[in-house]
Amino acid sequence: MKPKAREVRQTLLCTLADGEFHSGETLAQTLGLSRTAIAGHISQLTDWGLDVFKVKGKGYKLNRPLILLDEQTIGQQITMPHKGNIRVAQVIESTNTELKDAASQRASGDVILAEIQTAGRGRHGRQWLAPVGGSLTMSMYWRFNDGYQSMAGLSLLVGIAVCQALKQCGLDEARLKWPNDVYLYGKKLAGVLIEVEGQLGAPADSIIGIGLNVTVPEHEYDVGQPHIDMSHELGPDLNRNDIAARIIEQLWELLPAFTQHGFEPYVATWQELDWFADRTVVIKAGNKRISGVNRGIDASGALLLETSDGITRFHGGEVSLRAG
């Protein structure tokens, strides 16, 4: 996306967020564009999930007002000393990509959040869909000076951080699905995507991406699998700035200890949150499907599957888990 187009769409999003009517003429004059150009930009925002409607003689209006993410508000709600910079971008390709491209300016603990991702993605390169104002999409950068070997179990640790943050928000029933999903009542509530850069024997850079359904009604939005949102349990009046602050705070608290001690101290906590604990599951690895009983995880975060042949360990990557 060209910088000018991004800037225009960010301005339109911030202007329309109040839920009032804004005429095409006024928007065009403010931005120095034609009304036709404004209509084109709003059409693109609509394609990305912004619920805009138009009334002749009145202009454009959101279906409901939006409380947009705000970096200052998020920062003020974090009670611990800040361990990184917080930035909100209204319209970007993806939060993970944005942090990867900022290699020369980033530091451990830096966070970026976005209202609209035009190229958001999940595991295995799948598209990550997120309705505007109804989800929380964010990424954090963290460097591991001891390299890849010190990162085992990272996605599981992030899952713990998200669950603990959600509990602080009043959501007690969030559970974990190995290796990188947060579940609520058997449906996906959030996902984690870890991207790593570096070479063997050298420090490793990780980008921790998190996507959380805040207000994403299942009957209105298709994300390709059974999903649920926070509003299902807590009602519609949720402040995403507060939720973001709680998640960032948990990550800032857990990551330094994880960097020093690894995942082993967190194994018991993760297993207490395991949605599939001691249940029959099916592991899909490539074209293979292996059935067994989920017996938890080891200190490296590997899944322990009990079959007639004994215990087999599965690591992340192309392995996925389905209820058997």
Give 258-303 pLDDT, tens digit per residue.
Answer: 999 999 999 999 999 999 999 988 888 777 888 899 999 999 999 9
Residue burial 141-178, b: 16+ Cβ < 10 Å; e: rest? bbebeeebebbbbbbbbbbbbbbbbbeebebeebbbbb
Q: What is the DSSP string of 246-304?
A: HHHHHHHHHHHHHHHH-SGGGHHHHHHTBTTTTSEEEEEETTEEEEEEEEEE-TT--EE
Q: CA torsion sign, 93 to 96 to 100 to 106?
A: positive
Contact 120, 228 (CB under 8 A): no
- Per the model's pLDDT, the better-predicted residue between 262 and 322 turns out to be 262
Per the DSSP assignment, residues forming a β-bridge with 283 are 290, 321
Write down the pLDDT at residue 124: 46
Q: CA torsion sign, 177 to 183 to 186 to 187?
A: negative
Percent of the chain with pLDDT over 70: 90
Chain mean pLDDT for the chain: 88
Query: Among 9, 83, 123, 240, which one carries the catalytic annotation?
Result: 123
pLDDT digits (tens, 9 = 90+) for 62-102: 988 888 999 999 999 999 999 999 999 888 888 999 998 88
Query: Among 9, 83, 177, 188, which one carries the catalytic annotation?
Result: 188
Say which residue the tokens 């969030």 belong to: 174
* In the predicted structure, residue 126 carries a pLDDT above the cut 60: no
Full-prediction pTM beyond 0.85? yes
Which residues are CB-neighbours of 57 under 8 A, at least 6 positions away? none
pLDDT band at 134; cut points 50, 70, 90: confident
The Cα angle at residue 197 between residues 99 and 314, in degrees rounded to 5: 115
Nearest-angstrom CA–CA distance, 90 and 79: 25
* In the predicted structure, residue 224 carries a pLDDT above the cut 80: no
State mean pLDDT over 2-6: 72
* In the predicted structure, residue 138 carries a pLDDT above the cut 90: yes
For residue 21, give the amino acid letter.
F
* In the predicted structure, residue 320 carries a pLDDT above the cut 70: no
* In the predicted structure, residue 128 carries a pLDDT above the cut 70: no
Write down the pLDDT at residue 143: 96
Per the DSSP assignment, residues forming a β-bridge with 193 are 209
Q: Name the nearest CA neighbour of 133 among 231, 6, 22.
A: 231
Nearest-angstrom CA–CA distance, 2 and 68: 23
- Per the model's pLDDT, the better-predicted residue between 225 and 140 turns out to be 140
Tell me the three state secondary structure of residue 148. helix
Active site residue 188: yes
* Greatest C-alpha distance within the chain: 72
Q: Which of 43-52, 145-154, 307-316 has the highest mean pLDDT?
A: 145-154
Q: What is the DSSP string of 110-147?
A: -EEEEEEESS-B-GGG-B----TTTEEEEEEEEEETT-
Write down the pLDDT at residue 299: 95
Nearest-angstrom CA–CA distance, 189 and 185: 9
Nearest-angstrom CA–CA distance, 175 and 181: 9
Nearest-angstrom CA–CA distance, 71 and 86: 6
Contact 61, 53 (CB under 8 A): yes
Write down the pLDDT at residue 317: 45
* In the predicted structure, residue 227 carries a pLDDT above the cut 60: yes
List of domains in the chain? 3-62 (1.10.10.10), 71-271 (3.30.930.10), 276-323 (2.30.30.100)
Active site residue 322: yes
State mean pLDDT over 8-20: 90
